[in-house]
Amino acid sequence: MNIVLLLCVIILADFKAEALSYDYSASIECLAQPQKPLYNGGIIQNPELNDGLKGWTTFGDAKIEHRESLGNKYVVAHSRNQSHDSVSQKIHLQKGLHYSLSAWIQVSEADVLVTTMVKTTKEYKFGGAIYAEPNCWSMLKGGFTADTTEVADLYFQSNTTSAEIWIDNISLQPFTEKEWSSHQEQSIEKARKRKVVVQAVDKQGQPLKNASVNVTMNRLGFPFGSAINKNILTNSAYHYWFAPRFTVTSFEDEMKWYTNEYAPGKENYFEADQMLRYAKKHGIFVRGHNIFWDDPRYQPNWVSSLSPSQLNAAVQRRMNSIVQRYKGQLIGWDVVNENLHFSFFESKLGQDFSTRMYNQVHNIDPGTTLFLNEYNTIEESRDGLSSPSRYIQKIRQIQSSNRQLPLAIGLESHFPSSPPNLPYMRASLDILRSAGFPIWITELDVGSQPNQAGYFEQVLRELHSHPGIRGIVLWTAWKPSGCYRMCLTDNNFRNLPTGDVVDKLLKEWGKTTISAMTNENGFLETSLFHGDYEVEISHPVKKNHTFSHKIQVLSEDESGETRQFIKLSV
């Protein structure tokens, strides 16, 4: 008797929502009319300002006014003398709830930063910010977690006191922890998994019930990894711990300019070459980090004293050297690192430096994705230099000279030791995703404190579940003296609590074996994470013999098909 294994992979779309679904949408365009408030305004009273100023009051010494334009009603705060002079509403907070916040903002002057704040009895909580414009409406999206149960003030502020602030279609939607987790689960089912239907039939097409099926993931489809350094080349314990877990890496220092050219014209790529060979041998993809670093503190010690013409020559030599050397071998380049916070090269070689470098790198290595790599975009809400709106503004500026540049968003994600602001993180990713660029987490770690592993797990779950994230790289390269901020193992490569988090989540994300029996119609249904698998099937009619086949479960975007059929016969 012959046995045929038939696998049908289809999109999973029939999961059941346990709570109000989260709205991942965001607008980054300045619109003539604001869009409707998310969640119909949530707990905000009179969110569309259709009932005059009902529910809204003056905050500080501003004057507020109800206006209407083209049928749209809104509130305006004017005659402002202090940054906090604005408009506010009393809100009832409940401790432990996550609040998703949004509003539509217009101002009377160009490029004005408007911030949403929540005043409690103990603190001022940051809700979100947007650089708003006159004559059109911009969407502010953010969020926060309530630390207390109390009545608080939600208000809007701007340091540009001469500007009027127009506000409309405000929303504040609370979610419980259980609801927040259900959003993650729902998103994972849609973004990271597909439904797999396995049918076992004989040669005549008759179903075989009670066939034993084992499905084992060999490789996670979602890119997940960690930085490494040259210690992995000489420490076998490091190698054996790292290689089975991760599919992507960055080099901690070995591809940075101060390592590769320690003196003018004196190049060293020995460690980088060896590490790249190691990664290739084990099927680990490599992100190129980095060609240039805009922070003046991290230049080769001989660079700072160069004249502009000498620096330009050194820059061209550096770019040609490293990009030509690793052309076609990397999945991405961090071209000008931390370009929103620093401007070492722009100050010496012109404000178009970054745009020129991205284009030149693309000309040499056209098949490699080019990243704008920055910190504090999702992990620190109060850093306006790299806020989501500023990030999008910068990456569009780089792209403006060449729409064909394969750009991507790199978020370092060095989280502080305080609890992560999950609503702000999710909202920021919503905004960045709406720009249409791939998003990677490139240097993830969490500050040291007693609950480091717990916060680390919260952050990883939030990031992995977000539909905009294409890959995650941890900044946990090991060295005997200690890691940058967070290690996963001790010096004997026994897991620390953070390493246990990694192993726990890898197992949840599919690094395990699913064993089951086909039903009376020969079917087995399950939901699998994207990745490479080995399917083994056995049946009583073929004693002591197992038939196996390797399959790949792809996302719909990658495969272009909603169904995938694989037939095995013996």
Spatial contact of 337 and 357, defined as CB atoms under 8 Å apart: no
Tokens standing for residue 427: 């909202």
Spatial contact of 313 and 274, defined as CB atoms under 8 Å apart: no
212: β partners:
517, 538
452-465 helix and 422-433 helix, angle to the nearest 10 degrees: 30
Count the neighbouring beta carbons within 10 Å of the beta carbon of residue 235. 17
Q: Which residue, chain included where needed, has tokens 């602001």?
A: 421
522/333 Cα distance (integer angstroms) = 48
- Spatial CB neighbours of 62, under 8 Å, sequence gap ≥ 6: 77, 78, 79, 80, 85, 86, 87
- Spatial CB neighbours of 447, under 8 Å, sequence gap ≥ 6: 414, 415, 416, 417, 418, 485, 486
Residue 207 DSSP class: B
Residues labelled catalytic: 338, 443
3-class SS string, 74-87: EEEEECCCCCCCEE
Tokens standing for residue 357: 């470098």
356/507 Cα distance (integer angstroms) = 43
Burial environment of residue 52 by CB neighbours within 10 A (0 to 12, 13 to 18, 19 or more): exposed
